[in-house]
Amino acid sequence: MSQSDIILASGSESRRNLLLSAGVEAVCVKPNVDEEAAKATFRAEGMRVADQAMRLAELKAVKVSRSREGLVIGGDQMLNLEGEAMDKPVDMADAANHLRRFSGKAHTLETAIVVAEGGQPVWRHLAKPKLTVRPLSDAFISSYLEQSGEDVLKTVGAYQLERLGAQLFSRIEGDYFSILGLPLLPLLDYLRTRGFLEA
């Protein structure tokens, strides 16, 4: 087995770059899963936020692994604010509303990863980093969004921790990689047990 057999079922540059920085070269294949329809179904069923993230990660991994040989990694991240799943902001005004809702509160990033092989899930992991947002003034929110630009619309929390988003928080519990969207350390450990990486 070699790294050429590792496939990332995602178009996420962030996840691909995290793997690459850790020495794992994965082929990226977009899973073409209708995430909005899936989330609507999950929410209509009253599914917990963490379970929604895990199911979406599994859908992506399994779909790609049905047509590609190798180990397929699917991931998903959902923001859990007091039991409610928050989606990516649709525009800058929505991003400002998100930040006002987060202000002074803690939220959890339900960060799920599933590895599939031959159309079946073979490994899964859920990380739950908890981030506490400091009280934010409207002036700060406006300035932050102006400086950050529309990149914030690509992220579920309207922030990128590795950039200006660091200024939003008073406390962070959990590992950095999971906050960025990939529980990297457990995944690397699994890849070692499977012989894809040296032990």
- Residue 198 maps to a domain: no
Place of tokens 């630009």: 149
* pTM of the full structure: 0.93
Cα(161)–Cα(175) distance, integer angstroms: 12
| Catalytic-labelled residue, pool 34, 51, 76, 175 | 76
pLDDT of 9: 96
- Asked if residue 31 lies in contact with residue 114, where contact means CB atoms within 8 angstroms, the answer is no
CATH number at residue 172: 3.90.950.10
- Residue 199 maps to a domain: no
- Residue 125 maps to a domain: yes
Could you say which residues of the chain have pLDDT below 50? none
Q: Report the domain count for the chain.
A: 1
Q: Which domain holds residue 76?
A: 3-193
Cα(63)–Cα(132) distance, integer angstroms: 35
27-28 and 84-86 beta bridge pairing: unpaired
pLDDT of 91: 97
**Per-residue tokens: 184:** 């990297």
Q: Does 76 qualify as catalytic in the annotation?
A: yes
pLDDT of 26: 92
Pure H helices in 30-155: 35-44, 49-65, 92-102, 138-148
